[in-house]
Amino acid sequence: MADVKLVSLHGRSLDMVPIIRENRYVCVLLESEDNAACIAEKLQQFGLSRVVITVGERLSFEDESFTTGSPKEIRKQRFDRQAIALFRNDEYRIPTRAYGISDERFQQNGSISMTRRDVRALSLCRLALHENSVVYDIGAGTGSVSIEAALACPEGMVISVESDEDAAVMIEQNRFDFQIDNIRVVRGNAPECFKGMTICDHAAEEKVLPRPDCVFIGGSKGKLAEIVDWAIEANPKVVIVINTVTLEGISEILALEKKMTDYQFEMVEIQATGLERRGSYHMHQAENPVTITRISRR
């Protein structure tokens, strides 16, 4: 069938929820006895309980067998480590890669920062994401950038870094609302929170982080230079996008440009102005101007 997404779990860790969410059929080559059960548990957890799972064992042998059930049923079972699982999701969502989800769709409150729709869309465009990008969202706030990045990278991973516990909880809430499993929340201030963690290409353990392809910095807590140094040390080819609303932040970026001669800096200032109804009139309502900087290797 032309509409079947083929995935192998051999030798790698992959979050399957985003892939199953966006495809009618997903065929997975399993690697361990509990792979199918773990995926089923995640599907149940993220509200995809109506997915139909069929697991084939010992295919082409005389004792081949097939087991079909819901995530709730399959999560309790173990299968041959060389089994193949077919996931059928009749309620799959055709993915859209256009950025700019409405702000109202995110859980938020006035005390937790959030990158607004228009600025968010342009910032994500600057990151140039692909379906398996590893993205770090530093100072994630409500997680709006993390959510859109995770949707754009169903076979990738987003690391949301946030020091405020209320904000970290809100990221988790938004993650569940959007049925997103490929976001990992790291609590703390960057880059200090990365100390003691190993950076590698395939990270599946608590003290191991995936190597960043892209880093978005929405808040640095005065550690902008240190965060940029960490990102480049982790991956010299990383793409970094920084948003700042202060003149001091712009000064920090210009200072970085002077010393980072091997990297190209692209800066643009954007100010979004909407129209709001005030009685019988419509008035302009301007947001604060934001400077968006993209840093990439020459």
Per-residue model confidence as pLDDT tens digits over 94-114: 877 779 999 999 999 889 999
Residue 182, both tokens: 């490929």
Dihedral (C-alpha) 107, 50, 130, 240: value to the nearest 10 degrees? 30
Residue 215, both tokens: 């880093």
- H-helix segments, 46-143: 71-74, 117-127
Question: Is the alpha carbon torsion for 144, 125, 12, 24 positive or negative?
Answer: positive
- H-helix segments, the chain: 17-21, 35-45, 71-74, 117-127, 144-152, 165-177, 224-234, 247-259
pLDDT at 106: 96
Tell me the chain's radius of gyration from C-alpha atoms.
21
Q: CB neighbours (10 Å) of residue 121?
A: 18
pLDDT at 122: 96
Beta partners for residue 28, in sequence order: 7, 85
Residue 96, burial from CB neighbour count under 10 angstroms (0-12, 13-18, 19+)? exposed
pLDDT at 71: 97
Element (H, E) at 138: strand 134-138
Dump pLDDT digits (tens) for 271-291: 988 888 988 999 998 889 999
**Hey, what domains does the chain have and what are their CATH numbers?**
4-88 (3.30.950.10), 103-297 (3.40.50.150)
- Contact yes or no for 212/135 (Cβ under 8 A): yes
pLDDT at 203: 65
Residue type, 139: G
pLDDT at 200: 84
Residue 122, both tokens: 């342009």
Collect the ranges in the chain with pLDDT lower than 50: none
